[in-house]
Every structure is written in C-alpha cells, then in structure tokens.
C-alpha cells in the first residue's frame, strides 16, 4: 500500500448503519465504499442516516448546530460544566 493512501478513510451506508473504516481494513474489491477526502468531516444524520461531506473550516459549526437543534444531541452544557 502506498504511503499517500495509507490513512485514507472510506465509508459505506447500509440500511441500518453508516460504517467508516481505514483503507487498510477494506479489501480493494469490495463495492459500496466511498472515499472520504482528507481534511473533510462526514456529517451523519442519526435519524435518517443521510450523509454529507463538509470540508473542514467551511461551516462545520453550522452543520453541527443544525443537527443539534433537530436531534437534541449533544445536550447543551450549562456554564461551568466540563
């Protein structure tokens, strides 16, 4: 395996889960895996399992806030909470 692709992540959506794995875990001949580009977050709606790739530094905070508002998770921390 080439060093440039050693740390690549791939993901696959199934009817009941989103599975994320490193390149060394996935046999190259298995279909259904999508490459998650470097410097990209995978946002997963836990209710519908819809996925969206968001380049880091491009509004991930807004995606996180929208998801939190929709699902109620993570719970808001009160001042002074760890």
Q: What is the pTM of this model?
A: 0.60
DSSP 29-67: T-TT-EEE-TTEEEEE-TTT--EEEEETTSSHHHHHHHH
Residue 75, CB half-sphere, CA atoms under 13 Å: how many? 5
Q: What is the pLDDT along the chain (82 residues), one digit of tens a residue?
A: 566 566 788 999 999 999 998 877 766 667 888 889 888 899 999 999 999 998 887 655 555 556 566 666 555 544 444 4
* Phi/psi of residue 42, nearest 5 degrees: -100, 115
> In degrees to the nearest 10, what's the CA dihedral of 33, 39, 18, 7?
60
Sheet holding 34-36, edge to edge: 17-22, 9-14, 34-36
């Amino acid at each position: 395996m080439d060093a440039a692709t050693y740390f690549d992540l791939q993901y696959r959506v199934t009817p009941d889960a989103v599975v994320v794995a490193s390149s060394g875990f996935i046999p190259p001949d298995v279909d259904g895996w999508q490459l998650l580009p470097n410097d990209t977050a995978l946002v997963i709606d836990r209710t519908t399992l819809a996925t969206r790739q968001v380049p880091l530094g491009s509004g991930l905070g807004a995606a996180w806030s929208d998801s939190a508002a929709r699902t109620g998770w993570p719970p808001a921390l009160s001042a002074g909470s760890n």
